[in-house]
Amino acid sequence: MLLVASTVSGQMSAADAPDTILVFGDSISAAYGMPEEQGWVSLLTTRLTQLEKNVLVVNASISGETTAGGIVRLPKILKVHQPDIVILELGGNDGLRGYPISRIKDNVQQMTDLIADSGAKVLLIGMVLPPNYGKRYTTAFTALFDMVAQENNVPFLPFLLEGTATSQSLIQRDGIHPKPEAQPLLLNDIWPLLEPLLE
């Protein structure tokens, strides 16, 4: 787990303690296939520093993580870090393994509930599956994230890889994970939804 911080310099009182953003995702947020400092989460820390935002960023993303694994890990992580904002980016590996849609949705909802109960704000990130999984399954998979976002009235980015997945020059040889060159684009997609939560 990567812990990175962006704080305004100088002595801080308890009242000036930094806000905490927890990124809770899979390989897309864990900088798979590249040094961690090149991933979009580290780029987020750099941007917050440049904007002189008093924010701590905790990256608890793990490559290969599923929603079931996320439910197991999340309570302790919320207790330890007490985040103000959680960027929830899980479910892609469930879909790639063909797990039942109802189970994935229930798990995403449980994690959303855990985050809300902790007092943190949720930013939900969705995912899109390759077409070879069949139209019925891929459509239902994409829709489950939108349903959770609407039912809980939380900010929602339908597809983090929009604009990168369609460009082979931005995707690693595995055909799934974005290259370092794509990481600023991922951050730019997330930022318009994240910035209002920082106010």
pLDDT at residue 162, rounded to an integer: 65
pLDDT at residue 174, rounded to an integer: 74
**84-107 pLDDT per residue, tens:** 999 999 999 999 999 999 999 999
pLDDT at residue 8, rounded to an integer: 40
**28-80 pLDDT per residue, tens:** 999 998 899 999 999 999 999 999 999 999 999 999 999 999 999 999 999 99
**155-169 pLDDT per residue, tens:** 999 987 765 455 677
Lowest-confidence region among 5-19, 110-124, 147-161: 5-19
Q: Which residues contact 96 (CB under 8 A, 6 or more apart)?
A: 129
Distance CA 159, CA 83 (A): 23
Residue 123 has pLDDT above 90, yes or no: yes
pLDDT at residue 6, rounded to an integer: 43
The runs of H, that is alpha helices, within 59-199 are: 67-81, 92-96, 101-117, 135-152, 183-198
Give the model's confidence band at 15: pLDDT under 50 very low, under 70 low, under 90 confident, else very high. Answer: low
Q: Compute the average pLDDT of residues 8-12.
A: 43
Model confidence, pTM:
0.89
- Domains within the chain, CATH numbers bracketed: 2-6+17-198 (3.40.50.1110)
Instruction: Please give the positions annotated as active site.
Output: 27, 174, 177
**SS3 label, residue 28:** coil
